């Protein structure tokens, strides 16, 4: 049960990085770490016959080090404050010598106040990735200068992960990281072979990398960004002390997001939010009073109709 998960568990120290980073100096008596991500990386390539499998184990190590050893922000993190995330990369095809097509699934989460429960922030699949890699080559990156589609995609999602995390701890706190992700989008050469760098251009689809960061920075989606903060800080993080107040805050967020979804029903940011939160929302409202259940289900049916069968479970709780 979500309620039990929120009431019992670890101390509120898990919330130190983004809540208090703007309010308190880092204690000099504590060990400091620069890196922000604690990212698990898994690469599979079961369908490939021509490529030596050990190349992808080498790549897996290189991607792990690229994400976890790099300093992505100017803030200082302790080990327990790092952002929990993962990247699952499934290499599906070899298009040429050292050129691969892959699907990447990116997930991230953050702890909930005074609990051992972690809430999903991102669970996103990107199926438009083609990259070039030669075993043991260094993974170099410059956010303002395109070097390779391999590191550009990895860095793009690193900044999206960090931005979403910051957004849940302070109002619009992730803006500068979304801007860094947008800088990567803008760095993609206009003359690059579109078959080797899909997902960066607005005309290539309405749910690709271009549109995700566009939504995150667009004034049209400000209520969704604000809801990320309210959902987590006034919703989930207060449920330890007051489940009813926290649940009401989540319901208010659904109203705000629903208004945006009504105007932009196919927007990628709406899809990203509900892909991450649909299961959690069922758990939150299953224990609500009947009128709250009915309100929540009505809002969810309208904002996220593709998950209606899942939300129907709320009324059966």
- Residue-wise pLDDT for 107-164, tens only, equals 999 999 999 999 999 999 999 999 999 999 999 999 889 999 999 999 999 999 999 9
At residue 227, φ and ψ (nearest 5 deg) are -65, -30
pLDDT band at 49 (very low <50, low <70, confident <90, very high): confident
Average pLDDT on 23-50 reads: 70
Query: Which tokens sit at 66?
Result: 């690229």
Give yes or no for residue 68 having a pLDDT over 90: yes
Whether this prediction's pTM lies above 0.85 is answered by yes
Listed by start position, the domains of the chain span 2-217, 233-317
pLDDT band at 34 (very low <50, low <70, confident <90, very high): low
Give yes or no for residue 64 having a pLDDT over 80: yes
């Amino acid at each position: 049960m979500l309620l039990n998960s929120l009431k019992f568990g670890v101390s509120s120290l898990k919330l130190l990085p983004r809540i208090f980073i703007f309010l308190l100096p880092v204690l000099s008596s504590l060990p400091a770490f620069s890196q922000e991500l604690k990212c698990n990386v898994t690469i599979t390539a079961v369908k490939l016959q021509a490529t030596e499998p050990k190349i992808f184990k080498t790549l897996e190590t290189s991607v792990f080090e690229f994400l976890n050893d790099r300093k992505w922000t100017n803030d200082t993190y302790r080990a327990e404050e790092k952002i929990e995330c993962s990247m699952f990369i499934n290499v599906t095809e070899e298009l040429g010598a050292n050129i691969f097509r892959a699907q990447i699934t990116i997930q991230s989460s953050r702890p909930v106040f005074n609990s051992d429960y972690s809430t999903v922030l991102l669970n996103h699949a990107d199926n438009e990735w083609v990259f070039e890699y030669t075993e043991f080559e260094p993974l170099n990156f410059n956010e303002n200068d395109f070097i390779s589609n391999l590191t550009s995609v990895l860095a793009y999602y690193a900044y999206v992960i960090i931005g979403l995390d910051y957004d849940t701890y302070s109002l619009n706190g992730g803006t500068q990281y979304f801007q860094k992700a947008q800088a990567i989008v803008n760095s993609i050469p206009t003359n690059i072979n579109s078959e080797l760098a899909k997902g960066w251009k607005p005309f290539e689809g309405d749910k690709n990398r271009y549109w995700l960061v566009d939504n995150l920075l667009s004034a049209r989606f400000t209520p969704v960004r604000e809801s990320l903060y309210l959902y987590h800080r006034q919703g989930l993080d207060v449920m330890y002390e007051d489940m009813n107040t926290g649940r009401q805050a989540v319901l208010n967020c659904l109203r705000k997001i629903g208004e945006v979804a009504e105007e932009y029903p196919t927007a990628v940011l709406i899809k990203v939010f509900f892909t991450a939160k649909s299961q959690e929302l069922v758990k939150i409202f299953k224990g609500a009073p009947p009128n709250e259940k009915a309100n929540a289900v009505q809002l969810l049916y309208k904002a996220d109709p593709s998950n209606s069968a899942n939300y129907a479970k709320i009324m059966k709780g």
